[in-house]
Chain A
Amino acid sequence: MLSGYMTLSTRATAVALGVLAVAGSGCFEQDMANEGRLKPLEASEFFEDGMTARQPVEGTVARGQLFNDDHLYRGMVDGALAETFPFEVTADVLERGRERYEIFCTPCHDQIGTGNGIVVQRGFRRPSSFHVDALRAAPAGHFYDVMTNGFGTMPSYAAQVPVEDRWAIVAYIRALQLAQNATDADLGPQDLEQLGERR
């Protein structure tokens, strides 16, 4: 009799524990679901510096990353800043340049490149306008070089803007320079008509 009671109570305890375990597992699920795999930038306890993302061994050159095209990667031709673009500037390139310029440059240089972006209004050093003579005469390679290596207080954008996009931005800055200094003679009949409506 007594032993039967015991059994019953043990069974009840087991069932109760089981129910608790099922109910409780909800709380711990997230931790168990996040153990094995490391996501990008997740901290790692394995490596001394705590970073999951490893740097390649110094001096490693990955396939396709020799970067030996001076014109494309450094904006240089024969040791001087390039006057030309390393690839053809099409309408698509210009459009890409506009988009990237608006993401990365407008905060300081503003929409049309006069150098009065919102961050400048909040106290950042004011850059020169892109429409001064010196910069209109500057070679395309100069703009590429500034983005790649920085210029005075302006930091490098090499980490944020890939090489092709940097050239696309240069092309768009050229377009801005042309647009800001355009006269009626530069416009086609369609543009003039549109402008006429607004004037």
Chain B
Amino acid sequence: MAQIFHPSTNTLSRLSIFGAAFVVAALAWAAGTWSRSSVATGVGVAQQQQVPFSHKHHASGLGIDCRYCHTAVEESSFAGIPPTATCMNCHSQIWVDSPMLEPVRESFRSGDPLEWIRVHDLADFVYFNHSVHVAKGVGCSTCHGQVDEMPLMWKENTLYMEWCLECHRQPEKYVRPRAEVFNMNWETPTDQFELGRHLVEEYDIENLTSCSTCHR
């Protein structure tokens, strides 16, 4: 019976066994890079909405406090998205003819809620709570970035588990005085480590890293 494989295939098969290791490594690297790319995480990608609501305009331009609209952020797990009526507090008299605001007026007339596309959306199997972070001195900008400079909303961080844990392991690197939580221009002071350790003690902050903290 004639040989099916030429002797050179021996080398070829050895080479491919050797090469497979690199292929696997390359695949792993590609997957890792992909999962951290902005395409996969959505970090830094501005979200178009049916009404081009600008935090830059309202928060830094007009100086409106986050809590004027996100009223629940201090008391509840959910920060809250303002109802149409909140927009109409001002837009009943301001920019009343602007076509940009037509969906807002339409929603106010009909009572159908405005639909906003979520920018931050944790998996359903993760539990998150705003009020505890606000109460323990984690600023909005630590997680959401300079919201008051965003014409359209984008995600500043991946919201991956490793990102949550990075802070839960060492909260002293990030916490600030409670009074500064809503300050969008807070900069990490040079003595953050000392300040952080002091605040961790004062606010009684624990390192919550057990799985059941977030998966319950």
Query: Which residues on A are within 8 Å of B, measured CB to CB?
Result: 19, 23, 26-27, 30, 33-37, 39-41, 43, 51, 102-104, 107, 118-119, 122-125, 153, 155, 159-160
Contacts and interface: CB of A to CB of B under 8 A. Distances in A.
B100 interface: no
A124 B90 contact: yes
Interface residue range, chain B: 20 to 34
A23 B113 CA distance: 38
Contact of A51 (B68, B71, B113, B124): B113
B62 interface: yes
A155 B34 CA distance: 49
A40 B78 contact: yes
B123 A107 contact: no
Given A107-B64, A107-B68, A118-B62, A26 B115 contact: no
A26 B123 contact: no
Contacts of A27: 40
Interface string B83-109: 101101110111000000000000000
B65 A153 contact: no
B164 interface: no
B71 A26 contact: no
A41 B65 contact: no
Contacts of B115: 43
A160 B124 contact: no
A160 B65 contact: no
Nearest to B67: A103
Nearest to B88: A155
Nearest to B85: A159
B27 interface: yes
B89 A155 contact: yes
Contact of B62 (A36, A103, A104, A107): A107
B94 A33 contact: no
Contact of B68 (A19, A37, A40, A160): A160
18 contacts: A23-B27, A23-B31, A26-B35, A33-B123, A34-B124, A35-B124, A37-B124, A39-B78, A39-B124, A40-B80, A107-B63, A107-B64, A119-B90, A119-B94, A123-B93, A123-B94, A155-B92, A160-B68
